[in-house]
Amino acid sequence: MSQSLRISTSLDANGSGVNHISTRPLDHVADFPAIPEGWSYLDTAATAQKPQAVIDAITLGYSDTYATVHRGVYQRSSEMTLAFEAARRRIAGFIGAPSPNEVIFVRGATEGINLVAQSWGGANLQPGDRIMLSLLEHHSNIVPWQLIAQRTGAEIDVAPLTEDGRIDLDAMAAMLTPKHRLVALAHVSNVLGSVLDARRAADLAHSVGALLLLDGCQAVPRMPVNVAELGCDFYTFSGHKLYGPTGIGVLWGRTELLDAMPPWQGGGAMIDKVSFEGTTFAPPPARFEAGTPHIVGVLGLEAAVGYVERIGLDAIAAHEAALVAETRDALSSLNSVRLFGPEDSAGIVSFALEGVHPHDIGTILDESKVAIRAGHHCAQPLMRHLGVDATARASFGVYNGRRDIEALVAGIERVTRIFG
């Protein structure tokens, strides 16, 4: 099992925080049964491994307690409904949502963004309206807006990046006009790890009357998130990147926005009354949760939320910051390595090796039992901006530590020897 860094913080002579790193294993490292001894899993930004607490919650949900929700009058169904809605309340609290009725369960952030684009966008966008994105967005925060723009006649603008790979909010401020109806940005870049100043982004969007949607996939696993304090209007994330199961995610939206949005899918559970003459719809969140939900996925997501809350998001952020700093230091000492993104990237280090395709890096590292991501990371416009077809990416979780960094660096040194 990988060692994980024990991090404590003290103040230096100038009063700044200094991380002191120890390789003593953290108590929770053994919670991940899918990480065997000697395997360095460095692909958490793609999907996180699952702690035993989440696995147990899923197993229990499918065995002793399984039943449908919101439909049955028998005891087990009633109890599962109570558990399901308790999970909604827990997750609302996790992201600082003022009301659990603002939390909509979706399959993941991709579906959450598509829901807003098709429902809010379809009802509100008109020819000549504008949508603001940024150059570093994941395809899931580009393509849905292209589809709704084509349908409504809206147009898309793209904010540039700073030299160190952050969304350039100064440039975006100069680009925003009263024609902009919505701004959609990544809270944390899945390639560069750069963290958005979300509060400023919200203020800028609102200054021209636009709404702000944040893609929080890479933020919620590694830093505290409070949607009320951020000032955004929509926030979405996927459960599987938060140590939870696949197929479940969350879209949060402000009550007044959700109340005014039409349903985007029809079926059971999202209705008030149905007749062949017409149908009336349930209030949010039910209006946007057509059909039988991913019941056990919701329970697994709640278990994942409980797991990271017990560790503490501040502790996770400090842990991953130390890992990133040590990794960047180690890789920067190799002359053939090009690093991307800011020095203080959140849990993610992307890099390229001169003369070697990232897929070859990934394959050779896999032979050394080091798992990284290699490719365009569903961010092809960003790749073109960086002047590469793809990058290699190491991304961290609570189960990683110095041994994983050492294995990564040793593997890259092997790559350089093989390719000369």
Give pLDDT tens digits for 373-412: 999 999 999 999 999 999 999 999 999 999 999 999 999 9
Instruction: Please give the pLDDT value at position 29.
Output: 64
Q: Give just the sign of the alpha carbon dihedral 88, 93, 95, 99.
A: positive
8 three-class SS:
strand
- For 150-184, how does the pLDDT look when each residue is reduced to its tens digit (9 = 90+)? 999 999 999 999 999 999 999 999 999 999 999 99
Domains and CATH numbers, the chain: 6-49+312-419 (3.90.1150.10), 65-309 (3.40.640.10)
List the chain residues with pLDDT less than 50: 1-27
| H helix intervals, 95-215 | 109-115, 122-124, 143-152, 169-175, 198-207
Q: Is the pTM of this model over 0.85?
A: yes
Q: How many helices (H) and strands (E) does the chain have?
A: 14, 17
Residue 420: its pLDDT value, please?
79
396 vs 407: CA distance, rounded Å: 14
Q: Looking at residue 7, what is its pLDDT?
A: 34
Query: What's the CA dihedral at 20, 24, 26, 32 to 10 degrees?
Result: 130
Kind of pairing between the strands at 234-238 and 211-215: parallel
Is 232 designated active site?
A: no
CB 160 within 8 A of CB 146: no
From 55, 378, 383, 388, active-site residue: 378
pLDDT at res. 71:
87
Side-chain half-sphere CA neighbours of 40 within 13 A: 26
Note the pLDDT of residue 72.
85
Amino acid letter for position 385: H
Q: Is 420 helix (H, G, I), strand (E, B) or coil?
A: coil
The pair of three-digit structure tokens given for residue 68, joined into one six-digit string: 């449908």
Per DSSP, 31 falls in state: G
Cα 178 to Cα 106: distance, rounded to the nearest angstrom: 31
